Chains A and B, each alone.
Chain A
Amino acid sequence: MKLTVWTYEGPPHVGAMRVATGMTGLHYVLHAPQGDTYADLLFTMIERRNHRPPVTYTTFQARDLGADTANLFKSAAQDAYDRFKPEAIIVGASCTAELIQDDPGGMAETMGLPVPVIPLELPSYQRKENFGADETFFQIVKALAKPVERTKQITANLIGPTALGFRHRDDIQEITALLSDMGISVNVVAPMTSSPSDIARMGAAHFNVLMYPETAESAARWLEREFDQPYTKIVPIGVGATRDFVAEVAQLTGVDPYMDESRLRLPWYSKSVDSTYLTGKRVFLFGDGTHVLAAARVASDEMGFEVVGIGCYNREMARPVRAKAREMGLEATITDDYLEVERVIEALQPEMILGTQMERHIGKRLGIPCAVISAPVHVQDFPARYSPQMGIEGANVLFDTWVHPLVMGLEEHLLHMFRDDFEFHDAAGPSHHGGHAPAASADGGSAPRPTDSPRDLSGTENKSGQVIWLDAAERELKKIPFFVRGKARRNTESFAVERGVGEISVDTLYEAKAHFAR
């Protein structure tokens, strides 16, 4: 039994829903109690989908448990087929139905439905959402993909994008364009946008682009083994990775590497003098393994940040993330415990977080700017505008998104120079965030939330209770700009504690500043 406050991943059947909802012509019959239908709103509200997910739930209740939940499943499956006439059906159980052991897969197979029925075994008490998506897509591919002739032209399948994916919609477009520039067309994009009959002709492609290992690595491996289709190992997020991806595709296919750089702005933006202030910004990275690994490279090589910590919530990616951490001289944080991530961030005191919506809230509380690089998603992660993470435009988007929450270069100096200006009061926040209510800032502005916080659960001790700030030092501290004040306070306090100093004077403050000078 594990106490959980917030979760990074949903249960595995939500992963299966992400696959089914991304596809067309597929229906998911889910043996699940009343209430599990909440998952529909993830797609209709967060992603703003204009159709209900193609899922029929049996919605059994307590009174059905004594009677016949098996028949309830059968009639739900039959009704779903009759109403929606899908090309194929996937069937499975949610956590509660798993306990009553009705075997929906076995039952559906005996019903004689005139379309392929694919049973899913998703162990709800061991695995999570990404596993559910990966396993579901793998089972669909295994059941439906047939040996077919290769296309005459060189083609690729783009695999991994799902409903409710972080910028999957736009990444598909970007990668399609990137390949098109090399003269390679796309055979099937799956699971998102494909139908069961599209899956059947996946074998026609010459190779697979594995966009998101989280959701399609099992399928990629199977296709490699069964259909001799190699798959790409590089995820093209960032300038360097996109160049490497182009080289990898060229090597796999024998076509000349080509990349149209006319729209690529990140390298120049990063070199331009205004970006000098980005130098050595201490960043902490957290999210799914794929996005964190890509972000680590972009942060250090393309933005000139100093990566002070990395981690991921999906254990499936623990190995590569640990390896990357070692390479950077760090220890990886592999956990799905939100409170542990918060403790790590609190201890590292980064100047910026590149994380998920969860870290955005940690950042808000600790007064650390945060940009979102990974799922779990929020309604804000489905912008109306084109906003990929991958490829050339993706690199441009990363630059803008990561710089946006920071106080801009000259503004930082002005704040230092005119720290007593009444408009530079603590709550003002970066000027480009608009308004003067940073608590409501959509991008996790600079103001920590004043009171109640999830930290109360974590049991961390309040270290500031151990030392006393003398009035003069407290006044001096207030002269330091608000966006570094929290760090200055904590540094000074830990400096004092280390030295057994019980009272912090102005001198202690500046001794600590000198000590931590970098």
Chain B
Amino acid sequence: MTELPRLPSSGGCRETPILKQRGQREVFCGLTGIIWLHRKMQDAFFLVVGSRTCAHLLQSAAGVMIFAEPRFGTAILEETDLAGLADAQDELDKVVDELLSRRPDIKQLFLVGSCPSEVIKLDLSKAAERMTQRHAPSVRVLNFSGSGIETTFTQGEDACLASMVPVLPQDDQRQLMLVGALPDVVEEQAIGMLEAMGIGPIKVLPAPRADGDMGVGKGTVYALTQPFLGDTHDALTRRGARHLPAPFPFGEEGTTQWLAAIATEFGVAPELFEQVTAAPRARARKAIAQAAETLKGKSIFFFPDSQLEIPLARFLTRECGMQAIEVSAPFIHKGIVGSDLDLLAEGPTISEGQDVDLQLDRAREARPDLTVCGLGLANPLEAEGLATKWAIELVFTPVHFYEQAGDLAGLFSRPMRRADLLKLEAAE
């Protein structure tokens, strides 16, 4: 297909022992995913069944308040709901009836479980079944959990997509499915390249609307576009679909390997692959090279946040010349990020989960040139003189595939360039 990736001579990180510590985890819960999912799925509404805290999180999670048209809301549990569970189901019916009568454009309703609804064992799957019957065929009601006791940040998207898989129609035709919510522009680029190689039909989960011709079955092969989709991966496998493991499409190398895995599966001729990818690959290399001038030789430390950490460390070390000190992720699913671990040269500490105070001690000790962390830690670390990149931007910004590879590198080089630019001291 194309030249094989150059494996690290010292060996990759797949077998590196993983540091696991238990303590305070400074992470978002899975509800946060609603912030981008509700924009992606245009006929869906996300109804969190939870507390005032859940509503407050959704309002605050994008860094500052966002006030786009909300296709999400919170059914806030009150004292009376906690008294008896039968009430809570009735109350939920009332809220949903009210919501759907006001919003006839809604075709998919997700009941999203939260910490309080899980703890009081409010059965949302039962509620979803009942409501699906009640509102069929105009609305399909599904449920998933975005609770902090079960999910971390991007796992909310995983839980959402996984909830959609069992209700997809059976379709055994030979097809490619791309899995993961991407900005439209990026998704179209990927589909464009794959179609140019003669691959098709191509389906995308999640589809922008519920009424598409999406199905799944034995003929389906799928490629994940995000590394946090473990449950969705398992759900698709159960439906008979087959996973195409590959490094994730970040950077030129990642994108090429990801495309190559699909092209190999579909028997695309090497010449055609070359013809389709040559120009964008060259552009990606050029764009990365510019940002890499700032990044080369600099050290980087990842706090666990979005689960993009391992593929990004692979990209930044191999294509931008950075040195990884610690790469941590909320969870490490080797079936999914194994290919990236193989390519990541041995050396960095690989850690899973977090005791945030101990990890901060390590970061202060190592004094990395760049620290990737959540919004709660970024300004405090900057105040200690450590340049940071807030991780949430990585899931809100188009960063996949060739044309965005330079932007992705730029997200990391910008904080460092800024630190160099600012001259706030007296001249002499």
Contacts and interface: CB of A to CB of B under 8 A. Distances in A.
B56 A14 contact: yes
Interface in B107-147: 115-116, 118-120, 147
Contact of A125 (B28, B29, B78, B102): B78
B115 A96 contact: yes
A5 B380 contact: no
A50 B119 contact: no
A50 B380 contact: yes
Interface residues of B, number: 66
A6 interface: yes
B51 A124 contact: yes
Interface string A1-29: 11111110111011000000000000000
A38 B28 contact: yes
A336 B392 CA distance: 29
B77 A125 contact: yes
B116 A3 contact: no
A79 B75 CA distance: 36
B374 A62 contact: no
Nearest to A75: B23
B382 A454 contact: no
B52 A124 contact: yes
A35 B148 contact: yes
Contacts of B57: 35, 38
Contacts of A452: 68-69
Nearest to A458: B102
B64 A3 contact: no
A2 B120 contact: no
Contacts, number: 202
A65 B53 contact: no
A124 B50 CA distance: 11
Interface string B62-104: 0111011110011111110110000010011011001101110
A60 interface: yes
Interface in A112-165: 123-126, 128
Contacts of B101: 459
Contacts of B63: 41, 45
A95 interface: yes
A429 to B, nearest CB: 19
Contacts of A7: 52, 55-56, 59
A357 B65 contact: yes
A380 to B, nearest CB: 9
A4 B67 CA distance: 14
A50 B75 CA distance: 34
A128 B76 CA distance: 12
A243 to B, nearest CB: 36
B152 interface: yes
A250 interface: no
For B31, B65, B102, B152, which residue has the most chain A Cβ atoms within 10 angstroms? B65
Contacts of B73: 3-5, 457
B64 A95 contact: no
Interface in A222-277: none
Nearest to A42: B60
A46 B92 CA distance: 33
A65 B357 contact: no
A44 B376 contact: yes
Interface string A48-83: 111110001111111011000000000010010001
A426 interface: no
Contacts of B55: 4, 6-7
Contact of A65 (B51, B56, B149): B149
B322 to A, nearest CB: 25
For B23, B52, B55, B375, which residue has the most chain A Cβ atoms within 10 angstroms? B52
Given A35-B57, A50-B382, A65-B149, A3 B51 contact: no
Interface in B336-375: 357, 374-375
A4 B51 CA distance: 10
A457 B72 CA distance: 10
A44 B375 contact: yes
B379 A48 contact: yes
A297 interface: no
Contact of A11 (B51, B94, B102, B380): B51
Given A44-B380, A59-B24, A96-B115, A125 B79 contact: yes
Contacts of A361: 67
A376 B59 CA distance: 11
Interface string A325-360: 000000000000000000000000000000001100
A40 interface: yes
Contact of A456 (B29, B88, B103): B103
B69 A95 contact: no
A452 B70 CA distance: 9
B75 A2 contact: yes
A460 B70 CA distance: 16
B64 A99 contact: no
A11 B59 CA distance: 13
Given A37-B376, A456-B102, A99 B70 contact: no
B150 A61 contact: yes
A464 interface: no
A146 B417 CA distance: 52
Nearest to B98: A3
Given A65-B149, A79-B357, A96 B51 contact: yes
A453 interface: yes
Q: Which 8 A-B residue pairs are closest in the complex by CB-CB distance?
A: A35-B148, A35-B29, A40-B376, A50-B383, A452-B69, A1-B91, A96-B115, A41-B375
Interface of A: 1-7, 9-11, 13-14, 33-42, 44-46, 48-52, 56-62, 64-65, 76, 79, 83, 94-96, 99-100, 123-126, 128, 357-358, 361, 376, 378-379, 452-454, 456-459
28 contacts: A1-B76, A2-B75, A3-B73, A3-B75, A3-B76, A3-B98, A4-B52, A11-B53, A13-B53, A33-B149, A36-B29, A36-B53, A38-B29, A44-B378, A49-B380, A50-B382, A51-B380, A61-B149, A94-B53, A96-B53, A96-B115, A96-B149, A99-B120, A123-B79, A125-B82, A128-B52, A376-B65, A456-B102
